[in-house]
A and B are shown apart, each in its own frame.
Chain A
């Protein structure tokens, strides 16, 4: 990766870096060059080593082999503080803020301007924060605590933090995963401003259109190995995907139009005060119904209320014509509902527990022998599903935390499919999952629907919604604003309804 005659030395570079965790080789001979005034994309499937690479740049991990070069000189970071002092700022997908402290304190923690005798100069802190906020063009009050900030605003705080110590390198780890269209646009504008000011940016995203829209160069990783570093000019999306997965992916969204059967899930006037109101819809056998809308529109909350995790204040949920008691996930499961939650780490899985035990959790009754859980039955059931879903694992007794994001999601799916549900509710089924596994998940959902399963899919991924769903329900600020059949669904119609600009038509009563 020598490019000696390309202007000044890169601000930050990796040369031949390898890193292993035990027997797992996370990075193998990877090189990367970040230059001032350039937005560089880092592409690769989940498990390709992107996170390890970022953490190496951030000083969290130290490479086993190879070098880190700062403006051409080799450096060794002993911790995040070293990287920060070298002008490297990392904005993680889930920002890590201090919820109890003010935005100003979050930005300047440990670096507060001081007056005599080492005392913090509060006024200077607030003035500097206000200046940063106006430079970023956002209206956030410096004294407001970080608790309750949206993910987008939390990222803005992180970026302000980076600006506050004049970061020369800004690393953004999937910053847009949880953002809406508007928030993403705001973020991009901020990033472009930073680039114009001479920052070097490393941008990670699963969304190809974002990579192409924002970046000028791309480095691709596959299985911890360096595949290519090149300008994006002249590259097509297909080229990039091929580099990432090492094969063509022509059918990312293989959903066939379905013949819907009888109504199995029927939701009427479901309301949860302050969250969503008057939500009514039906889902029939064999169809995939998407629940679209912007983050915060109340979609996940509806899904949770249907399943009984949250108690609805009014309205009813019927499965096969029978009313479900409110607020009882157990009853929902008995009636044939299954919910694959949005946050698989927090809600979908017990991270420290083994694959087989996680899959077994939903069916403790079915793997019982003489009143005790039988390890053998549990193992058999898990093995069965692991094969069906093509789970990539070492041993079923391994903790799920060692699996990649996509495979973790398959475990969650297996766990719920093992209950043989009539209705499967999936919340953001492919968030943070690499392209390859994403296609597998889509194929799986499609096949399940073809077998007569009713699928309710909450998703923020617009292409996924458009191509997977037979019908799209759009929510805006807690209300259903539109129901759009597959034929008429376009990005424009869905976004219009999601942003509340038009109501395509009243939802079915």
Chain B
């Protein structure tokens, strides 16, 4: 509700807009970069500190473990952030990972199917789960929290009923599949490479394609999105399908990585994923943030876990620290939003 009344009425030669504008833009840019820089900095400090306390943390195996441990979480965070950007949430991802990991294991046990088949199966299964959630949220107009919480329990139930206390053993999983989880190129394991590729592709898509920008628009203001003629429901459905597909992919990778899969694999991961996304700067209210930030968030949370193990700190601290980070992230979001709004207002008043 500020005013630009001091600006004289229609000025035939407008003052160079760049002046006022550049500062406003760089302010906003700085704010968002600040988030990613802050997480990156925290990550660097954490790694440095842990390394000083225990140099084994950063030897070849240590780095490899860190990358391997984080890659599935990073993948899930990428999928989740696409949903959160639209002002929705997908709590079913943990159970989707569990189901697809088990289903893929069941499918390949004792056969010699290739890694590609398993991955495609995982993605297909995950997409179906995502489409169900997405359809209920977008076309059924049921709040996302309720739908995906319901899906979480339903999928978990199916998984348990199917597994019936059994588990998939690595011995039954074909080597081709297992090598996806253990192999590497030039010393870098496949898993983090896959996550990085998905991350980069998603990041590029969100930035450079209309439908990508529309996801931000929907999260920023659903009403305005509808008025702008954006097919809101289709986009939300697509976001859920993507999140499901990524979770299914992650399920297949889970099988490849661990070989041994019990019915409740990835149980409870949904909250870690959401935490990673929010810590990474994707506002839970939608419209802002990037998959890069979310990936950094996932990396940070994983590293904290690994560091605590290396430092021989009781693991329950990990949850407490995650909680603190989450609250800090949400508080910063809020404060930053209030501050930038008032700063931008002052600028337009000038």
Interface residues of A (CB under 8 A from B): 79-81, 84-85, 90, 96-102, 105, 109-112, 114, 118-120, 130, 133-134, 137-145, 147-153, 178, 180-183, 185-186, 189-190, 193, 274, 294-297, 300, 499
Contact = CB atoms under 8 A, between A and B. Distances in A.
A180 B3 contact: yes
Contacts of B4: 150, 152-153, 182-183
Most chain-A CB neighbours within 10 Å: which of B25, B220, B230?
B220
Contacts of B57: none
B349 to A, nearest CB: 7
Interface in B1-52: 1-12, 14-18, 20-22, 24-25, 28
Contacts of B225: 98, 109
Nearest to B288: A100
A180 B348 contact: no
B217 A141 contact: no
A140 B17 contact: yes
Interface stretch (B208-216, B255-263, B313-321): B208-216
Contact of B3 (A81, A138, A190, A296): A296
Contacts of A152: 3-4
B342 A148 contact: yes
B216 A150 contact: no
A120 B211 CA distance: 10
B213 A105 contact: yes
Contacts of A102: 25
Nearest to B28: A145
B221 interface: yes
Contacts of B17: 130, 133-134, 139-142
B287 A98 contact: yes
Given A144-B21, A183-B5, 19 more contacts: A80-B228, A99-B221, A101-B287, A109-B228, A110-B229, A119-B208, A120-B209, A137-B12, A141-B17, A145-B28, A147-B340, A148-B344, A149-B344, A178-B1, A182-B3, A182-B7, A189-B10, A296-B349, A300-B1
A180 B1 CA distance: 11
B185 interface: no
B187 to A, nearest CB: 33
B133 to A, nearest CB: 24
Interface in B190-223: 208-210, 213-214, 216-217, 219-221, 223
Contact of A181 (B5, B230, B287): B5
A101 B227 contact: no
Nearest to B26: A143
B226 interface: yes
A52 B255 CA distance: 57
Given A110-B228, A112-B213, A296 B12 contact: no
A118 B3 contact: no
B288 A120 contact: no
B348 A80 contact: no
B311 interface: no
A297 B3 CA distance: 8
A150 B344 contact: no
The 9 A-B pairs with the shortest beta carbon distances in the complex, nearest first, are A141-B21, A81-B229, A148-B344, A96-B224, A98-B220, A100-B287, A182-B5, A296-B3, A189-B10
B341 interface: yes
A118 B209 contact: yes
Nearest to A125: B213
Given A96-B227, A182-B6, A101 B341 contact: no
Contacts of B3: 150, 152, 180, 182-183, 294-297
Contacts of B224: 96-98
A299 to B, nearest CB: 10
A185 B9 contact: yes
Interface of B: 1-12, 14-18, 20-22, 24-25, 28, 208-210, 213-214, 216-217, 219-221, 223-230, 287-288, 337, 340-345, 347-349
Nearest to A188: B9
Most chain-A CB neighbours within 10 Å: which of B6, B11, B229?
B229
Contacts of A297: 3
A190 B280 CA distance: 43
Contacts of B221: 96-99
A180 B7 CA distance: 12
Contacts of B228: 80, 109-110
A79 B234 CA distance: 15
Contacts of A139: 7, 11, 14-17, 20
B28 A142 contact: no
A381 to B, nearest CB: 34
Given A141-B20, A180-B3, A147 B341 contact: yes
B210 A110 contact: yes
A336 to B, nearest CB: 28
B319 to A, nearest CB: 31
B295 to A, nearest CB: 20
Contacts of A186: 7, 9-10
A153 B348 CA distance: 9
Contacts of A98: 216-217, 220-221, 224-225, 287
B29 to A, nearest CB: 9
Given A141-B25, A186-B10, A296-B2, A119 B230 contact: no
A142 B9 contact: no
18 contacts: A80-B229, A85-B229, A96-B223, A99-B220, A109-B225, A134-B14, A138-B7, A138-B14, A139-B16, A141-B17, A141-B20, A145-B24, A148-B342, A149-B344, A150-B345, A183-B5, A295-B2, A295-B3
B67 to A, nearest CB: 30
A295 to B, nearest CB: 5
Contacts of B11: 137-139
Most chain-B CB neighbours within 10 Å: which of A98, A105, A112?
A98
A178 B340 CA distance: 23
B210 A112 contact: yes
B288 A296 contact: no
Given A101-B217, A114-B210, A147 B7 contact: no
Nearest to B285: A100
B230 A110 contact: yes
